[in-house]
Amino acid sequence: MPTETFAVGVDYTLLEDPLEVTTAGGTSEMFVEPAEVYFEDEDAHARYAYRVMLLIAPPSTETMHLPSLLGRDIINRWRIDYHPTSSELRCEVITADEVIELPG
């Protein structure tokens, strides 16, 4: 998780008031910050926006290996079909906070 925050340039000195949060991996301190997450569907010529609260782990040797996870706050707004025999995962947006039409 911190690997991605460094890649996008998160300035940890600006984050304040970490909270104790229970996640899939247990309880830890995290910064909670508002954000917008975008997904683009080239076939539909649309970009879907979601306003979420991100959990950002402080950088440490223990957290550098943690993966970033897409939360249920977004996944619950999609229809998801998984076909294990073909290793195919399909997602269809049911709702989004904003839909931005793309040229095409």
Domains in the chain, number? 1
Residue 48 has φ and ψ, to the nearest 5°, of: -110, 130
pLDDT at 84: 95
Whether 53 maps to a domain, the answer reads yes
List pLDDT tens digits, range 60-77: 887 777 778 888 999 999
Query: Whole-structure pTM over 0.85, yes or no?
Result: no
Tens of pLDDT along 1-31?
567 777 888 888 899 999 998 877 788 888 9
Give which of 31, 38, 79, 78 is closest to 53, Cα–Cα: 31
Q: What is the pLDDT of residues 32-66, one digit of tens each?
A: 999 999 999 999 999 999 999 988 888 888 777 77
Classify residue 50: in a domain, yes or no: yes
In a domain, 84, yes or no: no
Range of the domain at 47: 2-66+97-101
